Amino acid sequence: MNKSDLVDRVADATGEAKTKISQVVDETINAVQGALAKGEKVTIPGFGTFQPRARKARTGRNPRTGDTVKIPATTIPVFKAGQALKDLVSGKAKLTVTKTSAKKSPAKKSTAKKSTAKKSTGKKSTAKKSPSRKKTAARKR
């Protein structure tokens, strides 16, 4: 699932416009990022906790040359799943969906006639395969 899929699902569940939901998702992400940048911990009950974690300086190895490399200390964001999310993913618990009482705007009546869709005849069109290319031998240098 990506961000647009998330916006679509929330918009369908709430009946709100996708542009409004997209703004809410953007602001939520910005709020979490801002808090983490300040070094704060963000807890969402039933979901999990985002927190910054300090990583010590260490020595690593360049895989290409084998030389040792100094890796500086840094701070990284870490997510720890809450127990409810862990139970849901493992199958121990079932997802409970709560419907919100969103007020949908009344649909405008259209004066245009609806077109009737033709039933398919049951024939499936198959895509033609392109001719396969022969593999060429690798050139020697």
pLDDT tens for 78-98 read 999 999 999 999 998 888 766
CATH code, domain carrying 73: 4.10.520.10
129 inside domain: no
105 inside domain: no
50 inside domain: yes
Q: Is the pLDDT of residue 103 over 80?
A: no
DSSP string, 44-97: ETTTEEEEEEEE--EEEE-TTT--EEEE--EEEEEEEE-HHHHHHHHTSS----
Domain count across the chain: 1
96 inside domain: no
Per the prediction, the chain carries an average pLDDT of: 81
Range of the domain at 36: 3-90
133 inside domain: no
| Per-residue pLDDT tens over the stretch 51-73 | 999 999 999 999 999 999 999 99
77 inside domain: yes
123 inside domain: no
| Per-residue pLDDT tens over the stretch 39-52 | 999 999 999 999 99
